[in-house]
């Protein structure tokens, strides 16, 4: 039978426009025009809505991909999904992870030996007035279902990570919406508690939750976004940018219809200092442990870690007061703390850590999502 064989290659970036690592993979035949599925990564910059480092990286990567595929730049999105999260404070190394997929003839695996599969999809165009509202939720849900179908996944329990990049709001897009008599969810273009960026991220997360059955349709409305924290997805990892017009979705899961050497697993941490939660994600993905810690001799099998680092909405962590909410740089600090937490467990800095938001529908109240990819060959 035809099954997927998925690979993931992590390339550190010297600048936002650095595509040399990807080119080396292409020259070595590891990334091919007919196998490249997605480029996922962290880009240096502010991480804000006007993060030109992320925009610069997006432009450079699309131009490189267009050359690789031999298609015009404006057709790249039909073939390859881009999920770029801006801002690398602390010990997060800017990097791009190239995800490839090929179809090969191989027998189906046993039910207890599922391996990595990937699916991709793009949403319909998301208008500014839909950002952070039901319009975005429904369009991301539809794209998530399509990406699951592309991955060959039917059981939501086999889905361990859904990465989404959606449009944010800008001054120009707000003006465009209001010129048509429409309203927008926020005029605050930051990632603060009422910022348009977090509304976009959380609308996308609820779209994933709807698609996977984590949240039922009757529970959703414009009013619950960034209000009802009991509604969330355990596997959504979302970000937004003003350069986007459509949502882009990549679904990662495990399946018996896979000849991949990789397996993905995820866990939900109780808060953003929960090292045990990070270790649990590694264990679920198949990394061996010794004396309660990842076996140092086994860490070479760890391919990549994806994590959220969301700031709690209260002024306490585990019953102790913190002053993070009083800090004007809380967004950057929250992301930096997540990067240091994951790096302290994995011993590496090329981890995808998105976050800095205050509260999120990406995980339960106070919790964060961590997903790990481990090699099993």
User: Are 123 and 200 spatial neighbours (Cβ–Cβ below 8 Å)?
Assistant: no
For the four alpha carbons of 335, 134, 215 and 149, in that order, the dihedral sign comes to: negative
**CA distance linking residue 75 with residue 366, whole number of Å:** 40
Q: Is 78 one of the catalytic residues?
A: no
User: Are 11 and 95 spatial neighbours (Cβ–Cβ below 8 Å)?
Assistant: yes
**Among candidates 87, 147, 331, 361, which has minimal Cα distance to 238?**
361
- What angle separates helix 52-69 from helix 20-27, to the nearest 10 degrees? 20
Query: Which run of H or E residues covers position 150?
Result: helix 134-151
Sorted by sequence, the CB contacts under 8 Å of residue 335 that are 6+ apart come out as 47, 87, 89, 90, 92, 309, 353, 354, 355, 356
What are the Cα distances from residue 352, in Å, to 171, 301, 315?
28, 17, 26
Quote the DSSP letter at residue 50. T
Which residues, listed in sequence order, are joined to residue 320 by a DSSP beta bridge? 317
How buried is 211 (Cβ within 10 angstroms: 0-12 exposed, 13-18 middle, 19+ buried)?
Answer: buried
Sorted by sequence, the CB contacts under 8 Å of residue 296 that are 6+ apart come out as 290, 347
Q: Is 165 one of the catalytic residues?
A: yes
Out of 233, 239, 240, 309, pick the active-site residue. 239
DSSP string, 55-103: HHHHHHHHHHHHHHHTS-GGGGGGT-EEEEEE---TTPPPEEEEEEEEE
Query: 357 by DSSP, 3-state: which?
Result: strand
What are the Cα distances from residue 262, in Å, to 80, 254, 265, 297, 302?
20, 9, 10, 18, 9
Out of 165, 244, 308, 335, pick the active-site residue. 165
User: Quick one: how many helices (H) and strands (E) in the chain?
Assistant: 7, 16
Q: Which residues are catalytic?
A: 165, 239
């Amino acid at each position: 039978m035809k099954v997927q064989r998925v690979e993931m290659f992590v390339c550190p970036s010297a600048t936002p426009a650095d595509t040399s690592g990807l080119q080396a993979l292409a020259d070595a035949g590891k990334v091919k025009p007919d196998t490249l599925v997605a480029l996922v990564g962290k880009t240096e910059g502010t991480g804000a809505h006007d993060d030109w480092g992320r925009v610069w990286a997006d432009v450079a990567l699309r131009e490189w991909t267009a050359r690789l595929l031999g298609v015009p730049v404006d057709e790249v999105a039909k073939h390859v999904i881009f999920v770029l999260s801006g801002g690398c404070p602390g010990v997060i190394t800017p990097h791009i992870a190239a995800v490839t997929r090929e179809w090969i003839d191989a027998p189906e695996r046993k039910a207890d030996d599922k391996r990595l599969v990937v699916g991709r999809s793009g949403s319909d165009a998301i208008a500014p007035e839909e950002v952070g509202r039901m319009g975005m939720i429904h369009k991301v849900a539809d794209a998530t279902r399509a990406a699951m179908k592309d991955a060959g996944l039917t059981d939501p329990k086999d889905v361990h990570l859904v990465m989404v990049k959606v449009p944010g709001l800008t001054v120009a897009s707000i003006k465009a919406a209001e010129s048509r008599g429409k309203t927008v969810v926020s005029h605050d273009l930051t990632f603060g508690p009422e910022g348009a960026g977090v509304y976009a991220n959380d609308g996308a997360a609820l779209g994933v939750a709807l698609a996977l059955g984590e949240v039922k349709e009757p529970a959703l409305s414009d009013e619950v976004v960034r209000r009802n924290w009991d509604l969330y997805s355990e596997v959504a990892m979302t970000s937004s940018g003003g350069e986007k017009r459509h949502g882009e979705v990549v679904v990662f899961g495990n399946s018996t219809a896979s000849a991949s050497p990789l397996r993905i697993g995820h866990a939900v941490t109780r808060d953003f200092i929960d090292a045990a939660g990070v270790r649990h994600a590694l264990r679920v993905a198949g990394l061996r442990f010794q004396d309660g810690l990842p076996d140092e001799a086994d860490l070479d099998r760890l391919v990549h870690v994806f994590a959220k680092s969301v700031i709690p909405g209260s002024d306490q962590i585990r019953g102790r007061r913190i002053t993070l909410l009083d800090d004007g740089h809380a967004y950057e600090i929250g992301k930096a703390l997540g990067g240091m937490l994951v790096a302290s467990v994995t011993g590496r800095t090329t981890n995808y850590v998105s976050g800095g938001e205050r509260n999120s529908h990406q995980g339960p109240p106070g919790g964060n999502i961590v997903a790990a990819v481990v090699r099993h060959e």
